[in-house]
């Protein structure tokens, strides 16, 4: 049930414009194996500090959602298991949906590595999946998934439809400065937030307009990358606005070498964890 309001904030147009800049794969041509290596990087990175991002997210949810240990959970957009692994260790069962075969392969490896057997994997597109096939879940959650969604209200409606108790959105806050600096250096124009990960505030506005009482907590986590990983990380963003060929790759590399004496890149980030009780 949504409350009736005479006036609403026009989120759809803003979201559409932002999404149009992010659509499609980055154009990176310096390495034929770039996207596989980028996927491998991400799968390895999520394990740092004992799955810190996912673990801290789960700790917050477990502390605030009654009966968490016995929850049946639907996770939308599992990736390689950032949230899935810590979640599965703390709930009864996880059903995970992800369209990427590469993500699913990494997820299966990480589940096996952690001897986790209470996760059901569905390799399908969330946008077109038949939600009528599912029973209701205690919790429906998506983590770092919002930018995969074209229609935010439809996405939130589907989450609520499949939940008999709670929904949760987990999203990183802010992009590290080094990416912004390289963007300005290579494209020769000011950075205007073109690839900020923040999307939680869009959901918050929609949910509050619906009358939902949304709880929010934040936590800090740390990421560490080596030089080659950092080059790929930066190239994955720059490639959305300019082809990253060998020449551009060398510019990125040289800039990064100037910024790090030991070849390590350590970034401290924040994450927003939002949850609300679904109305029936």
In this prediction, residue 280 has a pLDDT band, given cuts at 50, 70 and 90, of low
Section 140-150 average pLDDT = 94
In this prediction, residue 196 has a pLDDT band, given cuts at 50, 70 and 90, of confident
In this prediction, residue 124 has a pLDDT band, given cuts at 50, 70 and 90, of very high
* List of residues 6+ apart from 23 with CB closer than 8 A: none
SS (H, E, C) 23-75: CCCCCECCCCCHHHHHHHHHHHHCCHHHHHHHHHHHHHHHHHCCCHHHCEEEE
Tokens 């900020």 belong to residue: 196
Q: Inform me whether the pLDDT recorded for 131 exceeds 70.
A: yes
In this prediction, residue 8 has a pLDDT band, given cuts at 50, 70 and 90, of confident
Q: What are 173's strand-pairing partners?
A: 270
Q: In the chain, pLDDT over 90 holds for what percent of residues? A: 85
Q: What local confidence, expressed as pLDDT, does residue 5 receive? A: 77
Tokens 């929904």 belong to residue: 167
Which of 63-67, 176-180, 226-230, 250-254 is the least confident region? 176-180
Q: Inform me whether the pLDDT recorded for 214 exceeds 80.
A: yes
Q: What local confidence, expressed as pLDDT, does residue 23 receive? A: 76
Q: In the chain, pLDDT over 70 holds for what percent of residues? A: 99
Q: How far apart are CA 34 and CA 236, in angstroms?
A: 9
Q: Inform me whether the pLDDT recorded for 246 exceeds 80.
A: yes
Q: What local confidence, expressed as pLDDT, does residue 247 receive? A: 97
Q: What phi and psi, each to the nearest 5 degrees, are found at residue 162?
A: -90, 0
Cβ contact 19:150 at 8 Å: yes
- pLDDT averaged over every residue in the chain: 94
Section 262-269 average pLDDT = 92
Tokens of 97: 């949906």
Q: Which domains are assigned to the chain? A: 11-277 (3.40.50.150)
């Amino acid at each position: 049930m949504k409350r009736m309001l005479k006036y609403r904030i026009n989120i759809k147009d803003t979201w559409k414009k932002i999404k149009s800049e992010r659509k499609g794969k980055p154009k990176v041509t310096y390495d034929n194996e770039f996207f596989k290596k980028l996927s491998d990087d991400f799968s390895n990175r999520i394990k740092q500090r004992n799955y810190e991002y996912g673990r801290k997210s789960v700790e917050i949810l477990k502390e605030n959602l009654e009966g968490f240990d016995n929850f049946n959970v639907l996770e939308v957009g599992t990736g390689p298991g950032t949230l899935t692994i810590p979640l599965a260790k703390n709930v009864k069962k996880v059903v995970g949906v992800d369209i990427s075969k590469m993500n699913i392969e990494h997820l299966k490896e990480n589940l096996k590595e952690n001897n986790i057997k209470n996760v059901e994997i569905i390799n399908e597109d969330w946008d077109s999946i038949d939600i009528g096939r599912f029973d209701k879940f205690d919790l429906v959650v998506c983590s770092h998934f919002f930018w995969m969604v074209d229609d935010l209200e439809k996405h939130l409606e589907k989450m609520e439809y499949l939940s008999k108790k709670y929904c949760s959105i987990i999203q990183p806050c802010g992009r590290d400065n080094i990416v912004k600096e390289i963007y300005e250096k290579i494209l020769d124009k000011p950075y205007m937030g073109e690839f900020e990960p923040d999307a939680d505030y869009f959901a918050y506005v929609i949910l509050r307009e619906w009358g939902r009482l949304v709880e929010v907590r934040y936590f800090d986590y740390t990421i560490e990358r080596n030089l080659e990983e950092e080059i790929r990380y930066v190239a994955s963003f720059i490639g959305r606005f300019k082809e990253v060929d060998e020449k551009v790759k060398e510019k990125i590399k040289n800039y990064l070498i100037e910024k790090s004496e030991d070849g390590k890149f350590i970034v401290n980030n924040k994450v927003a964890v939002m949850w609300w009780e679904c109305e029936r």
